[in-house]
């Protein structure tokens, strides 16, 4: 839904008339106010590169990237207006760009406040917004005939409805909440449990800027923040705390929370600490460490937490490294995880590994698809493709924290289920294509070919698991 008030974006942008070349045309009293009230931002300031990245990702448009690379010195007033525009598009930014926007808003907080005071004389302030997403999918699969079941009938069609509320409590505190239909929303199943008539609150959190010396701290229910470039991650229903802090071209992110329902015996807590480095304008590197107080178990029928029929462990910990690299109009992403399992048993290796790569012609993602779209849904006619591959040992990623879990659809009752085990004991080729066929209407085509990695820990006679095909329509508003 369109915002009733664009306090920090629309009116200031109209007043300044920012041109398509990225050079603000200051006129009249506004120009005089800018000249007398705001100092220049030095040409070597980190904000130029930060805003250039937002422009390249399409978070702010109508600008030439070179405007932010020191070709012309901007005032703090001009930067505040650009940041205001980015804040207006915050919800369609990926996690990396959201961090950039948060950091820029903290840097230019006083200027943004002064702009807000001027705009308040023009229009009334509101601090709550409403939006949503409708998704419809067609799914087909080709499973191992000895262990899987082919989807048929209404199992091949499903939908999801999300309604999101967000806003600002004051200059330093923002909030977000989202309700969503329950799982199992199959067409033709209106009168059955889990048919879409049940809803849940899958996101509910508050973010505070500048608390305890941080850039921001978020508390509550949210997505699982992507650790390095996405082998760890999740879209919803994780209760925890996130802290972000940037030091020039170096960023820090820490998260701790639950990845599965907790019990007295099993806390199921995951903690991550990540440091990111901007090597140059094309290369970003992240590395970190994680601790998971969560068990990994298997079952003889292949339906346990691990994608095996034997083996277990008590806890895990490990390190990760990832990168995103721009090669002209292409993007290469990589992720690696090295894990140490505590009390690995029954043939399960103590030091499992995981890695993933993704190559695409998209300029947008800084984490692996489908955590972030390849295209901006508001840009009609834009499209992009990817080729990805991941190889993951049993236990390398704690159950519940897998960034690829739930990206495929299969019969939930079958063993070695690729929907629940998209990030355990698998080798997977992934292909995807996205096209914005109308404004805020996104078409996605996806293919995944799953093979078991360590067949000796299963009862399968071959390494074949499942092939998954998906056609997806998503409506954003």
Q: Given CA atoms 32, 33, 39, 41 in this order, what sign does their dihedral have?
A: negative
Q: Helices in 23-94 by DSSP H: which ranges? A: 28-37, 46-56, 76-88
Count each helix (H run) and each strand (E run) in the chain, helices first. 6, 16
Strands 441-452 and 128-141, bridge-based pairing = unpaired
Place of tokens 């007398």: 36
- Residue 85 token pair: 């525009």
For residue 57, what pLDDT is reported? 75
Place of tokens 């109209």: 14
C-alpha to C-alpha distance for 296 and 394, rounded to whole angstroms: 9
Query: Under DSSP, is residue 259 helix (H, G, I), strand (E, B) or coil?
Result: coil
For residue 72, what pLDDT is reported? 64
For residue 42, what pLDDT is reported? 77
For the chain (477 residues), the mean pLDDT of every run of 10, in chain order, is: 38 36 35 45 78 79 51 75 80 74 76 60 58 93 86 86 88 89 70 62 92 92 86 87 90 92 78 93 93 94 93 96 92 96 96 97 84 87 95 96 90 86 96 95 97 94 94 94
C-alpha to C-alpha distance for 477 and 461, rounded to whole angstroms: 47
Q: Which of 405, 396, 261 is nearest to 316 (CA)?
A: 396
Q: Which of 266, 247, 249, 171 is nearest to 209 (CA)?
A: 171
Domains of the chain, each with CATH number or no CATH: 10-119 (no CATH), 128-476 (2.40.160.10)
For residue 20, what pLDDT is reported? 31
Q: Which of 225, 350, 366 is nearest to 282 (CA)?
A: 366
Half-sphere CA count of 127, side-chain side, radius 13 A = 10
C-alpha to C-alpha distance for 315 and 271, rounded to whole angstroms: 12
Place of tokens 């992403």: 333
DSSP letter (8 states) at residue 75: B
For residue 205, what pLDDT is reported? 94
C-alpha to C-alpha distance for 68 and 53, rounded to whole angstroms: 9
For residues 47 and 104, is the Cβ–Cβ distance under 8 A?
Answer: yes
Strands 232-247 and 199-209, bridge-based pairing = unpaired
For residues 74 and 22, is the Cβ–Cβ distance under 8 A?
Answer: no
In degrees to the nearest 10, what's the CA dihedral of 357, 359, 364, 369?
A: -50
In degrees to the nearest 10, what's the CA dihedral of 357, 358, 364, 365?
A: -40
pTM of structure: 0.77
C-alpha to C-alpha distance for 405 and 401, rounded to whole angstroms: 8
Q: Which of 157, 26, 18, 180 is nearest to 84 (CA)?
A: 18
Q: Which residues of 219-254 are buried (b: 16+ CB within 10 A; e: fewer)?
A: bbbbbbbbbbbbbbbbbbbbebebbbbbeeeebbbb
Question: What are the strands, taking DSSP E only, across 191-314?
Answer: 199-209, 216-227, 232-247, 250-258, 269-278, 283-293
């Amino acid at each position: 839904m369109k915002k009733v008030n664009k306090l920090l974006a629309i009116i200031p942008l109209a007043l300044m008339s920012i041109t398509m070349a990225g050079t603000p045309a200051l006129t009249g009293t506004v120009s005089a106010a800018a000249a007398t009230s705001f100092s220049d931002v030095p040409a070597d300031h980190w904000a130029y590169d930060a805003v250039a990245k937002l422009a390249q990702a399409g978070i702010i448009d109508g600008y030439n990237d070179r405007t932010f690379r020191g070709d012309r010195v901007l005032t703090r007033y001009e930067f505040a207006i650009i940041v205001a525009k980015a804040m207006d598009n915050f919800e369609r930014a990926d996690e990396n760009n959201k961090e950039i926007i948060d950091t820029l808003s903290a840097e230019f907080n006083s200027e943004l406040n002064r702009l807000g005071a001027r705009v308040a004389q023009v229009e009334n302030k509101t601090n709550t917004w409403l939006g949503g997403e409708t998704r419809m999918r067609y799914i087909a699969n080709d499973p191992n005939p000895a262990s899987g079941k082919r989807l048929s009938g209404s199992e091949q069609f499903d939908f999801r409805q999300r309604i999101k509320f967000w806003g600002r409590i004051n200059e330093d505190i923002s909030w977000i909440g989202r309700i969503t239909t329950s799982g199992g929303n199959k067409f033709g199943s209106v009168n059955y449990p889990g048919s879409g008539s049940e809803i849940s609150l899958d996101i509910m959190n508050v973010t505070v800027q500048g608390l305890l010396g941080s850039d921001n701290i978020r508390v509550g229910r949210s997505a699982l923040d992507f650790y390095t470039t996405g082998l760890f991650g999740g879209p919803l229903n994780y209760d925890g705390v996130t802290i972000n802090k940037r030091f020039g071209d170096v960023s820090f992110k820490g998260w701790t929370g639950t990845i599965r329902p907790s019990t007295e015996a099993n806390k199921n807590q995951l903690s991550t600490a990540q440091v990111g480095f901007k090597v140059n304008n094309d290369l970003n590197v992240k590395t970190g460490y994680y601790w998971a107080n969560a068990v990994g178990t298997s079952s003889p029928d292949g339906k346990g937490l691990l994608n095996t029929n034997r083996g277990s462990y008590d806890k895990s910990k490990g390190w990760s490294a990832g990168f995103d690299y721009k090669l002209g109009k292409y993007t290469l992403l990589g992720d690696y995880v090295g894990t140490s399992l505590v009390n690995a048993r029954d043939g399960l290796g103590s030091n499992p590994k995981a890695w993933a790569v993704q190559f695409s012609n998209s300029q947008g993602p800084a984490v692996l698809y489908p955590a972030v779209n390849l295209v901006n849904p508001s840009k009609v006619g834009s499209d992009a493709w990817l080729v990805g591959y991941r190889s993951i040992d049993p236990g390398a990623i704690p159950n519940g924290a897998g960034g690829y879990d739930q990206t495929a659809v299969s019969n939930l009752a079958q063993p070695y289920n690729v929907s629940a085990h998209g990030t355990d004991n698998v080798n997977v080729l992934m292909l995807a294509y996205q096209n914005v066929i109308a404004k805020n209407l996104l078409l996605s085509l996806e293919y995944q070919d799953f093979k078991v990695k360590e067949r000796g820990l299963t009862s399968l006679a071959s390494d074949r698991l499942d092939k998954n095909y998906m056609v997806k329509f998503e409506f954003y508003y």
